Amino acid sequence: MDPDTDGDLIGDACDPQMGPIDHLALFNGFYYPVTINGWTATSGTWTLYSNALHQDAPAPGDRMFAPPTLYNRIAVATSFVVGASGPNRAIGFCSGFVTGAQQYCCTVQDKSGGGQEVVSTSVYPTYANQTKVAWTGTFNVGDRIALVQNPANGNKCEATQGVVDVVATDSIGPSTAGKLEFFTSSTTAAYDYVHIVELAN
Ligand SMILES: [Ca+2]
Ligand SMILES: [Ca+2]
């Protein structure tokens, strides 16, 4: 059994805070179609097949997809396989999403002329900022990238690909309540799983 030092039933490897008693809110491995009933798409073509959540619209534009639950303050872990190639594309997710007012995003992007970056985006009513750190991994079709967002340490966005580990950190506003939304821009993507932990404080 994996070690669980603080005894909150979340193993050390997945525990966003060592000490506080956190709560596993959702794990979805995208194995069965029924598991995304009630999830809603703002745009894009989101379906389950081959044991992954796929967004299959490659044309330019932002695609969002969200489970129905509202969360207070969550640490999110996911991984995805990169789809369509080309510049000006991004894959990741946003949490704490409140329409027009607030979101905390964690993405990897490949911007034309700007290189590849891991991006931590914080938007709340009186604040909007993006911290970008050069992505030294690869962002090609078929590559798998893991992303972890942890609001216990600013809006920490950590991207991992094998031994490549890049972190971008931004700030967190007074409220982090809102939705989780999967996010792609100008690319297809296939998400392997999502793991959501509600933080104790
Ligand atoms: Ca634990
Ligand atoms: Ca904990």
Count of the separate structural domains present in the chain = 1
Q: State residue 145's pLDDT score.
A: 97
Q: State residue 47's pLDDT score.
A: 95
CA of 75 to the centre of ligand 1 (A): 13
Q: Are 145 and 162 in contact (CB under 8 A)?
A: no
pLDDT averaged over every residue in the chain = 92
pLDDT bracket for residue 170 (50, 70, 90): very high
Residue 32 pLDDT greater than 80, yes or no: no
The residue range of the domain holding 96 is 23-198
Residue 58 pLDDT greater than 80, yes or no: yes
In this prediction the pTM is: 0.93
Residue 111 belongs to some domain of the structure: yes
CA of 24 to the centre of ligand 2 (A): 10
Q: State residue 51's pLDDT score.
A: 93
CA of 160 to the centre of ligand 1 (A): 21
Three-state secondary-structure class, residue 181: strand
Query: Residue 179 belongs to a domain with what CATH number?
Result: 2.60.120.560
- The number of the ligand nearest the C-alpha atom of 18 reads 2
pLDDT bracket for residue 50 (50, 70, 90): very high
134/99: higher pLDDT: 134
Residue 163 belongs to some domain of the structure: yes
CA of 4 to the centre of ligand 1 (A): 4
Residue 50 belongs to some domain of the structure: yes
- The number of the ligand nearest the C-alpha atom of 3 reads 1
Q: State residue 137's pLDDT score.
A: 92
pLDDT by residue (tens digit) across 109-118? 987 777 899 9
- The number of the ligand nearest the C-alpha atom of 6 reads 1
Residue 169 pLDDT greater than 90, yes or no: yes
Q: What percent of the chain has pLDDT over 70?
A: 99
Residue 6 belongs to some domain of the structure: no
Residues 6+ apart with CB under 8 A from 126: none
Residue 146 belongs to some domain of the structure: yes
Per-residue burial over 44-83, b = 16 or more CB atoms within 10 Å of its CB, e = otherwise: bebebeeebbbbbbbeeeebbbbbeeebebbbbbbbbbbb
CA of 1 to the centre of ligand 1 (A): 12
Residue 12 pLDDT greater than 80, yes or no: yes
How does DSSP assign 148-161, residue by residue? EEETBTBSEEEEEE
pLDDT bracket for residue 104 (50, 70, 90): very high
